[in-house]
Structure 1
Amino acid sequence: MKVADKVRSPCVSICALDDQDMCVGCHRTGDEITRWSSMSNEERLEVLQKVAERERKALI
């Protein structure tokens, strides 16, 4: 698979984990950030769905 075919990271270069081990910039957990480069596209899409839900909850 070409690099261009991989699901891109949601990183926004605001890298800081909060008390729940969640990045305040991209809303991924420390584990998700660490494992991102070895994840399949399907796993990455699952993480992005979780990220979207976390972002919605953060706005409430």
Structure 2
Amino acid sequence: MEQIELFAIESPCRGVCENSKKGFCKGCLRSREERFHWFSLSNEERHRVLDLCQQRRARLIKARQERLEADSAKALPYGMEDESEPVADLFDF
């Protein structure tokens, strides 16, 4: 027997609404298609989108952690930082 949702699943929008290089919102991590079609999705489809967003957030956190670990491993002594290296866009997933 399928469980019925009593309430509509609200949009995960956080009001940031800025796209990454690959078109994902930096606030809620939904794709352009997922944002545009949110209100026409069924509750099951919305749950799937929320699961995808959770997976994206986990990958983003992992990438940040790996970047921090890599940066700390190659850190130069105080006052000798190399300013020529660009900062990576962590939202590029």
TM-score (norm 2): 0.59
Gaps of 5+ in 2: 1-5, 63-93
Letter in 1 for 2:41: M
Count residues in correspondence: 57
| 1:1-60 map, 5 Å | 5-60=7-62
Which entry has the higher C-alpha Rg, 1 or 2?
2
CA distance in 2, matches of 1:19, 1:31: 15
**1: CA distance, partners of 2:51 / 2:10:** 13
Give the superposition deviation at 1:43.
0.3
Tell me the SS of whatever aligns to 2:13: coil
Gaps in structure 1 of 5+ consecutive residues = none
TM-score, length of structure 1 as denominator length: 0.90
> Which has the larger share of helix?
1
Helix, strand or coil at the partner of 2:58: helix
